[in-house]
Structure 1
Amino acid sequence: MTQQFGTIYEAIGGFDTIDRLVTNFYRRVGKHPALTPIFPEDLTETARKQRLFLTQFFGGPKLYTEERGHPMMRRRHLPFPITPQRRDAWLECMKAALEESEIEDPYRTAIFEKLTMTANHMMNTPS
């Protein structure tokens, strides 16, 4: 009998997996020439907020809302010029981080699809 999980968060192993994913992701972001201009040099706080957000986004505890209020992701990202090229770079880093973090399908695909929709929504600047 296969184990049933209520959320993606539970299915992938909870916070430890989110932590690993975010660490692997920001290691790439911090070196990506299309992304470094819109991210701070020290990604510690950015990564911490991402851990809170992804925990909540994938069905875990509502850590982001408890600390920072409603996510309002598009509004929070408006100060940064997010072009189609930057969206693609962000997704490229996330795809590689998902693989490195050994998140298995169907969860890896589900996560990537949800994050692709979010990344598309964040675009605010033409090429």
Structure 2
Amino acid sequence: MTASFYDRVGGEQTFRALVDRFYQGVANDPPLRALYPEEDLGPASDRLRLFLEQYWGGPRTYQDTRGHPRLRIRHAPYRVTPTQRDRWLRHMLAAVDSLDLPAAEDAELREYLVRAADFMVNALEAEG
């Protein structure tokens, strides 16, 4: 049996490092930070890490505690513009850079993240 992506990249430790690094960027990006209504980014960090771990073959804790991911529905209350998507991707891909993953896994993760970010866009830019 082939190891899951989750196991091949180092399991929880790797996903925790990815998400922690990502949220360091979010915390210092006011326009993106505004999309996170909670004062503390910790709960959002936990949710993202659990989602990514499950998606990539790790524990099903996200599903067990929060139900089906339904990403578009969960993000519908927030205006996710192309600019916000780009900001999100900048921080997420910088976080991927910090992991020093094997080339194949790095490419697979990046491809997924770009597709997921594109999928989340639900609003046009504000007219100014």
CA distance in 1, matches of 2:102, 2:77: 34
Correspondent of 1:107 among 105, 108, 126? 105
- Name the structure 1 match of 2:65: 67
Structure 1: unaligned runs, 5 residues or longer: none
- Name the structure 1 match of 2:117: 119
Moved more, 37-46 or 84-93: 37-46
1:49 aligns with 2:81: no
Runs of 4+ residues over 2 Å off in structure 1: 101-104
1:18 and 1:55 in contact (8 A); partners too:
yes
CA distance in 1, matches of 2:43, 2:119: 23
The amino acid that maps onto 2:31 is A
Q: Deviations over 1:100-120 (max 9, x none)?
A: 122231111111111111111
Moved more, 80-89 or 5-14: 5-14
Which secondary structure state, in structure 1, belongs to the residue aligned with residue 103 of structure 2? coil
Structure 2: unaligned runs, 5 residues or longer: none
Correspondent of 2:92 among 88, 91, 94? 94
The amino acid that maps onto 1:14 is G
Which secondary structure state, in structure 1, belongs to the residue aligned with residue 6 of structure 2? helix
CA distance 1:27–1:5, change in 2 (3 Å): farther
- Name the structure 1 match of 2:19: 22
The amino acid that maps onto 2:109 is I
1:21 and 1:97 in contact (8 A); partners too:
yes
Q: How many residues align?
A: 124
Counting aligned pairs with the same residue, the percent is 36
CA distance in 2, matches of 1:88, 1:63: 28
User: What is the CA distance between 1:33 and its match in structure 2?
Assistant: 3.0
Aligned-residue CA RMSD (Å): 1.3
* TM, length-normalised to structure 2: 0.91
